[in-house]
Amino acid sequence: MIRFNLSPFNFGKYIKSWEYVDDIEPIKDLDVGAKAIIAPEYLGPDVSIRGGYIPCPPEFGSIDFVIRHGEPNQDITLLARVYQARNVDGLGAEEIRKYRTEYKAVSGQPEGTFFILLQNVDVTKGFVTVEVENTEGGEVLIDCFALMRKFYIY
């Protein structure tokens, strides 16, 4: 592989030198963290849990919500909704309808994971969260968190 060293003048437009590189060091730091939304807890039939609101300014780009579940005691259907609000207390909360996601799991399935890939430009009020509802009978343990660039986690 060839590595090009750019000249610092003219904003790096010119190649100052080049060299063969035998190997590339793996990227050590993942630069991604997990921010808690809903703590691991049981979700019974017709019960919904709305997580804590997190700030979501436009410069974040994207937030990937991850919902994990354990083994349900019978077939279940989880309905996940994304809500936006004006502050961490949920002032003026309203659903961002396009992100509503339905997920089904069957009895005996040891665990599962599904995602909601949010575009921050859709969050016009500044704060966002996820609500998960068990719309079909049974009970299941769920967990929800957001994957974000570490730089933005605070």
Partner 1 sequence: MSCRIVEEISVVPVIAPVAQTAAGNTTGAYLACPPKLGTIDFVVRSGALAAGKKLTVEVYQAKDTSGTDAAELTAYETVFTAPEGGATDNSVIVSVDNADVTLGYVTVKVTNDAASAVPLDAFALIRKEYLE
Interface ranges with partner 1 (CB under 8 A): 26-30, 32-34, 36, 38-42, 52, 61-62, 64, 66, 68-71, 110-111, 113, 115, 117, 141-143, 145, 147-149
Cβ nearer to partner 1, comparing 17 with 22: 22
Q: In the beta sheet, which residues pair with residue 17?
A: 5
CB of 61 to partner 1, least distance (A): 6
End-to-end alpha carbon distance in the chain: 38
CB of 19 to partner 1, least distance (A): 21
Cβ atoms of 43 and 143 within 8 Å: the answer is no
Cβ nearer to partner 1, comparing 8 with 110: 110
At residue 145's C-alpha, the angle toward residues 91 and 124, to 5°, is 35
CB of 16 to partner 1, least distance (A): 27
Cβ nearer to partner 1, comparing 55 with 92: 55
Cβ nearer to partner 1, comparing 52 with 137: 52
Q: Residue 148's CB: how many other CB atoms inside 10 A?
A: 20
Structural tokens at position 128: 């966002």
Rounded to an integer, what distance in angstroms lies between the CA atom of residue 54 and that of residue 92?
A: 14
Rounded to an integer, what distance in angstroms lies between the CA atom of residue 133 and that of residue 46?
A: 7
Cβ nearer to partner 1, comparing 7 with 62: 62
CB of 145 to partner 1, least distance (A): 7
In one letter, which amino acid is 35?
K
